[in-house]
Amino acid sequence: MKLQPCPCCRGKAIFADLIIGKANRRVKMWQVSCTGCGLSTEMDEDKRYAAKRWNLRQEYASLKMWVTLLAALLPVSIIISLLLGNLMGISLIS
């Protein structure tokens, strides 16, 4: 499983494993973390799922940026439309 670079610092990502539980019931947990900034996923029993979550972080970060940008531009576009409408003699507010 290939891990993509860290979405924050572009550092190298590595797998870390930890065995949790008592002698009769042990579970191996996996985590992906960045060697540069320390960003990491939550612990998970499935190594492939941990890698998949890590590799999707960059896509989620990009999507979040676009949603935030569009949400910020919506009120600005409404205000500009109202101002242009007033300049052209169109009033939406009575």
Residue 57 has pLDDT above 80, yes or no: no
pLDDT for the residue numbered 16: 92
What local confidence, expressed as pLDDT, does residue 29 receive? Answer: 94
* pLDDT reported for residue 91: 67
* Predicted confidence (pLDDT) at residue 13 exceeds the cutoff of 70: yes
pLDDT of 75 over the 70 cut: yes
CB-CB contact of 12 with 39 (8 Å): no
What's the mean pLDDT in 24-51?
91
Calculate the dihedral angle through the C-alpha atoms of 63, 66, 68, 70, rounding to the nearest 10 degrees. -140
- Band (pLDDT 50/70/90 cuts) for residue 15 is very high
Question: Which residues have a Cβ under 8 Å from the Cβ of 15 and sit 6 or more positions away?
Answer: 3, 30, 31, 32, 47, 50, 51
Contact yes or no for 1/54 (Cβ under 8 A) = no
